[in-house]
Amino acid sequence: MTILVTGGAGYIGSHMVLALRDAGEDVVVLDNLSTGVKSVIPEGVPLYVGDTGNETLTASILKWHKVDTIIHFAASVVVPDSVSNPLGYYKNNTSNTRSLLASAVATGVENFIFSSTAAVYGDVDMKPVSEDSPLRPMSPYGTSKLMTETMLADVAYAHGLHTVVLRYFNVAGADPQGRTGQSTPGATHLIKVAAETVVGKRPYMQIYGTDYPTPDGTCVRDYIHVTDLVAAHSCALNHLRDGGANTTVNCGYGRGYSVLEVIDAVKRAAGTDFEARLTGRRPGDPPSIVAGVDRIHETFSWQPRYGNLDTIVAHALAWERHLREKSS
């Protein structure tokens, strides 16, 4: 049986495709290349360039490849963009996932692993947040994912689909073997932006908000290495194949770092200084969000290997330098 990875040409999806290939799984990718990059797809992995909203296309792929599992990464992912373009986010993240689910149900797909987000929680207090906490997203991005979680639960109940919802915290770093990393043009993620500033792709970076109710006034996030996150998907896949119950699981380390701490780590790893200008808050940002990690450890035999900010930053920087060399 085959696994369909939607968004497999994107940042996290490309790491997933490599891990599945390394594990000897049959993989097929669907990606519309809106932010993804074709060159990251390994040779021999079929890539369909198309949209998750195209039911005719997705039903054909699912039937043709006898897909039994979908790992669904394809989405629009930038929190502030969702504030200015909510309809685009509800279309791509919620409505297109509805279309994909319709094809999945029609063709008898058994397992569905969904990329959700810490952004479903919204403004929480400083404690690590458990999966059962109230869900009050602060951005259309978070709401678009929460709506999809709800839809997925209803579809699972009605049609017997087996599901794992993974709520990722802030994903960063790159493949430790240097085979892939974050290549998104115009990326907005903190560690990526800082790494681009180190290699001179940006003259300076900005710090969005210094007046949050956090220890140093900047936002706190739980940064998870992309390879550990992908390992959590492999655990989710095994869980479903072993007949495990449908579940929703936070993916993080349970430890938060402020924007200033992250920038310091990048400067340390780079051995250079760069300019980080203090500026106002960015819309949609919760002050602090750190994962409660009891469930991931109770449910999966997940053993994170790169849960150290310096390692995450070093791998992100190595990938950024690789991109820089390739482009020069």
Ligand X SMILES: O=c1ccn([C@@H]2O[C@H](COP(=O)(O)OP(=O)(O)O[C@H]3O[C@H](CO)[C@@H](O)[C@H](O)[C@H]3O)[C@@H](O)[C@H]2O)c(=O)[nH]1
Ligand Y SMILES: NC(=O)c1ccc[n+]([C@@H]2O[C@H](COP(=O)([O-])OP(=O)(O)OC[C@H]3O[C@@H](n4cnc5c(N)ncnc54)[C@H](O)[C@@H]3O)[C@@H](O)[C@H]2O)c1
161 or 171: whose CB is closer to ligand Y?
171
Binders of ligand Y in range 159-188 (CB under 6 A):
168, 170-171, 184
Applying CB under 6 A, which part among 67-75, 252-260, 305-313, 319-327 lies near ligand Y?
67-75
Cα 328 off chain centre by: 29
180 or 214: whose CB is closer to ligand Y?
180
A 10 A CB-CB count for 208 gives 18
Asked whether the beta carbons of 191 and 223 are under 8 A apart, the reply is yes
Our answer to whether residue 223 is catalytic in this structure is no
List 89, 90, 141, 306, catalytic entry: 141
Q: Which two three-digit tokens encode residue 322?
A: 């690789």
- With CB cut-offs between 5 and 8 Å by kind, which of ligand Y, ligand X, none does residue 208 bind? ligand X
- With CB cut-offs between 5 and 8 Å by kind, which of ligand X, ligand Y, none does residue 221 bind? ligand X
State yes or no: residue 56 binds ligand Y (CB under 6 A): no
Q: Which two three-digit tokens encode residue 106?
A: 């029609």
CB of 40 to ligand Y, least distance (A): 9
Q: Which two three-digit tokens encode residue 308?
A: 């150290």
Residue found under tokens 């919760």: 286
Asked whether the beta carbons of 284 and 80 are under 8 A apart, the reply is yes
Q: Where are the beta strands (DSSP E) in the chain?
A: 2-6, 26-31, 47-49, 67-72, 111-117, 162-168, 170-172, 205-208, 220-221, 223-225, 247-251, 257-258, 276-279, 288-289
150 or 272: whose CB is closer to ligand Y?
150
32 or 35: whose CB is closer to ligand X?
35
Applying CB under 6 A, which part among 88-96, 112-120, 228-236, 311-319 lies near ligand X?
112-120
State yes or no: residue 15 binds ligand X (CB under 6 A): no
Backbone angles phi, psi at 190, to 5 degrees: -50, -55
A 10 A CB-CB count for 277 gives 8
- With CB cut-offs between 5 and 8 Å by kind, which of ligand Y, ligand X, none does residue 319 bind? none
Query: Residues, the chain, total?
Result: 328
Binders of ligand X in range 59-98 (CB under 6 A):
77-79
Q: What whole-number distance in Å separates Cα of residue 315 and Cα of residue 321?
A: 10
CB of 39 to ligand Y, least distance (A): 12
| Four-residue CA torsion sign, 238, 239, 243, 249 | negative
The binder of ligand X chosen from 45, 106, 193, 323 (CB under 6 A): 193
Helices (H) and strands (E) in the chain, counts: 11, 14
124 or 273: whose CB is closer to ligand Y?
124
β-strand pairing of 257-258 with 220-221: antiparallel
- With CB cut-offs between 5 and 8 Å by kind, which of ligand Y, ligand X, none does residue 79 bind? ligand X
- With CB cut-offs between 5 and 8 Å by kind, which of ligand Y, ligand X, none does residue 219 bind? ligand X
The binder of ligand X chosen from 20, 28, 62, 119 (CB under 6 A): 119
DSSP lists the bridge partners of residue 70 as: 4, 112
- With CB cut-offs between 5 and 8 Å by kind, which of ligand X, ligand Y, none does residue 239 bind? none
Total of residues contacting ligand Y (CB under 6 A): 29
DSSP lists the bridge partners of residue 44 as: none
A 10 A CB-CB count for 117 gives 27
Provide the binding-site residues for ligand X, judged by CB under 6 A: 77-79, 117-119, 169-170, 188-190, 193, 205-208, 219, 221, 259, 282, 285, 289
Provide the binding-site residues for ligand Y, judged by CB under 6 A: 6-7, 9-13, 30-36, 51-53, 73-75, 77, 92, 96, 115, 117, 168, 170-171, 184
User: Which residues are known to be catalytic?
Assistant: 141
